[in-house]
Amino acid sequence: MTSHQHNEHSRDVHPHHVGARPLAERIAVSPVPGGPLDSAAGLARLGELGVAATELGPPGFLPEDPQEAARLLADAGLEAAGQVVPVVLDDPAADPLAELEPTLDRLTATEASTLVVVAPRSGDPASSRDDDGARETLLRNVDRVAEAAEARGLTAALCPRVGTAVEPGDDTQRVLDGSRIGLCLDTGAVLEAGGDPVALARRHARRIAHVHLRGVASGDLDVAGLVSALEDAGYDGWYVLQDDEVEEALDHLLALAAQWSGVGT
């Protein structure tokens, strides 16, 4: 992330945030297809809401030309938080790096920080789930993705989701044990799989490189517990809200940030 000047309250930060960029400056949005912000015109709305950044979003959200996309973000006063990209990682015949090259160019041009990869399964899910060869291929490829991102000054994070080659739970643990790629904690995916996002954050805080906060507006997520677990461990990355629940979730997160920073006290 690019540097920001701290506001007048930044000296009064909660101990969690000493030496870190304030929480309120690390809130981003993830545009979803058909969502209220799924257009370039939605960028202005993000600035009005007080969001610091946006992920680059689905096709059509921003211009395909990386320089033009960077210009639109700059005009809106927004940073690029990263981009979520589906890429097959468990097929020895596929080359994920070739597929990711245009995305890496785009992230570099927009001065983004994070490449987030989701790993759809190749072939028949029932036959590939327990395939040792597929798992070994996946572990090799996630490390290759991490190295390619680092070569561009980016951080790579794998986002486990239900129905993919890496689901929340045992799949995630195998990847964390067998590779060095960062983890994107998608709270909605963890909840969907019956897991506890706060417990996961406490257990693996130092591997978490990106956070998708879902379930905030519905009340399903212990936001304060999750953020405390991460900030205590020195997390300095983005908290990304999904755009179809952004306004209510943003109010919740900004209130938490104000409480911790001493704003209004």
What pLDDT is recorded for position 36? Answer: 66
What pLDDT is recorded for position 11? Answer: 24
pTM (predicted TM-score): 0.86
Q: Is 242 helix (H, G, I), strand (E, B) or coil?
A: strand
What pLDDT is recorded for position 45? Answer: 82
What pLDDT is recorded for position 172? Answer: 95
Q: How many CB atoms lie within 10 A of CB 248?
A: 13
DSSP characters for 150-214? HHTT-EEEE---TTSSS-TTHHHHHHHHH---EEEEEHHHHHHTT--HHHHHHHHGGGEEEEEE-
- Token code pair at residue 229: 């677990």
- Walk along the chain (265 residues) and give the pLDDT tens digit of each residue: 433 332 322 222 233 333 357 888 899 998 876 666 656 667 888 878 888 999 998 877 888 888 888 888 988 889 999 999 999 999 999 999 999 999 999 999 999 999 999 999 886 555 445 677 888 999 999 999 999 999 999 999 999 999 999 999 999 999 999 999 999 999 999 999 999 999 999 999 999 999 999 988 778 899 999 999 999 999 999 999 987 788 888 888 888 877 765 443 3
Q: Which residue type does 143 have?
A: D
Compute and round to an integer the Cα radius of gyration of the chain.
Answer: 18
Locate the domains of the chain by residue range.
Answer: 10-261
Q: Please tell me the CATH code under which domain 10-261 is placed.
A: 3.20.20.150
Distance, CA of 243 to CA of 89 (rounded, Å): 28
Q: What share of the chain is helix, strand, coil (3-state, %, to 5)?
A: 45, 15, 40
What pLDDT is recorded for position 156? Answer: 98
CB 15 within 8 A of CB 23: no
